Amino acid sequence: MKDNETLNEFEARLKREYDERQAVERREQVRSSHGDEYATLKAGMLSNVRATLTRKPATEYPDVRGMSDAEYQAQRSRLVRGGR
């Protein structure tokens, strides 16, 4: 109790300080719960990205390095037309 403070003022100050502490704790709980949820979502998204990047593509493209233009065109026409 501070000097020159009545009992009613003291009780009001204590209640106000208690309410402020409770509000701060509630905000911290909300912030930390959102952080945990975000961390879980982020880990899930990153694992999906890793799996996507490491799997082989559905279509295997031929290696065209070192081919002549005619060989490249033949490979391309087979690939584009579905091997016909």
Are 71 and 58 contacting, i.e. CB atoms less than 8 angstroms apart? no
For residues 13 and 21, what is the distance between their CA atoms, to the nearest angstrom? 12
Print pLDDT tens along the chain (84 aa). Answer: 677 888 889 999 999 999 999 888 887 776 666 777 777 878 877 887 777 777 776 667 767 788 888 888 888 888 777 655
- Residue for token pair 């309410």: 19
Helix (H) / strand (E) containing 33: helix 7-54
For residues 13 and 25, what is the distance between their CA atoms, to the nearest angstrom? 18
pTM for this predicted structure: 0.37
